[in-house]
Structure 1
Amino acid sequence: MNLALWIAAGLLAAVALAGGVSKTFVPKEKLAAASGGAWTGDASVAFLKTLGVLELLAAAGLILPAVVDVAPVMVPVTATCWVLLMVGAMITHGRRRESAFVLLNLIYLAIAAFIAWGRFGPEAFTG
């Protein structure tokens, strides 16, 4: 199960990194024109940049604390925060009737919940 949790964390970190880089560094107009990015047209640039930075921090928080063995409890804490972020994403896409993106966010939520459950529970990082 430890390997499955590492794989899940790696996949979710890659998703967070890609989303964070795009929201942080890609202009709002370009994001709004991309598939699934129409919602960004209704958001402020500051909100998008903040969300992007949070996603970059999530990418780091899902991997680095365990790798460097400094506060590894931050891995499941980060995964729990990602669950909350995905609830917000699902609400946003649901209001826009974008069911495919709601489903995608639900998958990301399930992966994050698996990581949180596994790292808080049976495969917790212990000293």
Structure 2
Amino acid sequence: MNLVVWIAAGLLAAVALTGGISKTFVPKEKLAAVHGGGWTENAGAGFVKTLGVLELLAAAGLILPAALGIAPVLVPVTAACWVVLMIGAMITHGRRGESGLVMLNLVYLALAAFIAWARFGPESFTG
């Protein structure tokens, strides 16, 4: 099961890295023009960039602590924080009537919840 959790963490980290790079480095006007980016029209540029930085930190937090053996408890903590982030994303997309994106965020939420459960519990790095 450890391998499955690593794969899940890698997939989620790739999602976080992709989203983080786009929100941090792509102007919000360009983000607003792409599918799923319409929410940025009503958000400040600083808020969008802050979310991007948080996603970049999440990408690192899902992999590096365990890979480097430095504070591996940060992996499930990061996954739990991702759950909270996805709840916000689901609310945002739900208010905009973007049910497909709500479902995608639900998949990411489930993946993060699985990682948090596994790393806090049966596949903990301390056990």
Aligned match of 2:48:
48
Q: 1:62 aligns to what SS in structure 2? A: helix
Which residue number in structure 1 is paired with residue 15 of structure 2? 15
Secondary structure of 2:8's aligned partner: helix
Partner of 1:119: 119
Aligned letter for 2:49? Answer: K
Per-residue deviation, 1:126 = 1.4
Equivalent pairs counted in the alignment come to: 127
**Does residue 94 in structure 1 map to residue 94 in structure 2?**
yes
In structure 2, give the amino acid aligned to 1:22: S
Give the corresponding residue for 1:27.
27
The amino acid of 1:70's aligned partner reads: I
**Sequence identity, in percent?**
77
Distance 1:58 1:29 in 2: 24
Structure 1 residue runs of 4 or more that deviate by more than 4 Å after TM superposition: none
Aligned CA RMSD, in angstroms, stands at 0.7
Give the aligned residue type for 2:96: R
SS at match of 1:107: helix
For residue 9 of structure 1, report the CA deviation from its aligned partner.
0.1
Aligned equivalents of 1:100, 1:28: Cα separation in 2: 21
Aligned AA for 1:42? N
TM-score normalized by the length of structure 1? 0.99
Residue 63 of structure 1 aligns to a residue whose secondary structure is helix
Q: Distance in 1 between matches of 2:21 and 2:91?
A: 22
Q: What residue number does 2:73 align with?
A: 73
Q: Which segments of 5 or more consecutive residues in structure 2 lack a partner in the other structure?
A: none
Cα distance in structure 2, aligned partners of 1:66 and 1:46? 31
Q: How far 1:105 moved relative to its partner?
A: 0.1
